[in-house]
């Protein structure tokens, strides 16, 4: 009988990609650090190399062999459990898109217009049949933002680059 504990099946490139990307980021950081004056690079170099070593170990622990599994068991056992985070690729993309659209709208059309457009758009995306309710919620939320930030805190709300404000 084999004594190996059961492991979830792992496809190699999907499993290795995060560590590979982090490895490249750490290496890039070290390359940027090399151009700095000596005193300014002391701690960043230390941190950069330490992180590169740690990411390398993370990479090795993701390999689907006995060494990788032993590393994973010792240093990162939670990764052996199956992924509990659900969500289809479409939903994940919509979540990321929500943030991107929100940033874009804020910078271009300003706070109030962005709030109204993004909240209404997001609600229509999630609940396409509830037009009136979505409209009311978006208007209410936008009014709340105006009340809180402009009326109560006295801030002059950002109007966006389309309406003459600068970044």
Partner 1 sequence: MLTVWIHGFESLLHVREIIFLCLGMVMGLVFGAVPGLGGTTALALLMPLTYGLDSITALALAGGVMGAVPMGGSISAILLNTPGSPPNAATCADGYPLAQQGKAGLAIGAAASANAVGGIIGTISLLAILPLSEKLALSFGPPEFFLLSILGLVMVATASRGKMLRGLVAGGFGLMIAFVGFDQVTGAVRYTFGIQYLWDGVHLVPALIGMFAGAEMIRLWIQGGAIAGSASGVKVTRLTDGLLETFRHWPTVLRGSLIGTVVGAIPGVGGVVASFLSYAVTVQASKDPESFGKGNIQGVIAPEAAINAKDSSALIPTIAFGIPGGAEMAVFLGILVLHGIQPGPLMLINNTTEIYGLVWALTVACVLAGGLGMLFVKPLAMVTLIPTRKLAPIVMTIAFVGSWAVDQTALNIVVSGAFAMIGYVMRRLDYPRLPIVIAIVLGAGIERNFHQSMAMSGGSWSIFMARTICVILVACIAAGLLAAPLRSLTSHVSLRRRLQSEVPSV
Residues in region 113-132 near partner 1 by CB under 8 A: 114-115, 118-119, 122-123, 126-127
For residue 42, the Cα-to-chain-centroid distance in whole angstroms is 29
CB of 13 to partner 1, least distance (A): 14
Would you count residue 164 as binding partner 1 (CB under 8 A)? no
Token pair of 42 as six digits: 């002391």
Q: What angle do CA 101, 104, 108 make, to 5 degrees?
A: 135
Of 24, 40, 136, 151, the residue at the interface with partner 1 (CB under 8 A) is 40
Of 65, 66, 100, 128, the residue at the interface with partner 1 (CB under 8 A) is 100
CB of 151 to partner 1, least distance (A): 13
Q: Helices 131-145 and 111-126: crossing angle, nearest 10°?
A: 150
Would you count residue 32 as binding partner 1 (CB under 8 A)? yes
Would you count residue 139 as binding partner 1 (CB under 8 A)? no
């Amino acid at each position: 009988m084999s004594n190996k504990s059961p492991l979830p099946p792992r496809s190699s490139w999907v499993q290795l990609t995060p560590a590979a990307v982090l490895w490249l980021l750490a290496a890039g950081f070290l390359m940027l650090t090399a151009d700095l004056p000596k005193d300014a690079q002391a701690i960043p170099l230390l941190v950069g190399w330490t992180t590169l070593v740690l990411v390398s170990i993370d990479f090795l622990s993701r390999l689907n062999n006995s060494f990788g599994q032993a590393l994973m068991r010792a240093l990162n056992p939670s990764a052996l459990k199956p992924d509990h985070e659900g969500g289809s690729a479409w939903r994940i993309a919509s979540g990321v898109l929500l943030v991107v659209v929100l940033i874009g709208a804020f910078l271009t059309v300003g706070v109030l217009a962005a709030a109204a457009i993004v909240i209404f758009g997001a609600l229509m995306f999630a609940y396409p049949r509830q037009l009136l309710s979505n409209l009311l919620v978006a208007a209410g939320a936008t009014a709340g933002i105006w009340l809180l930030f402009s009326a109560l805190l006295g801030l002059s709300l950002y109007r966006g680059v389309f309406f003459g404000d600068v970044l």
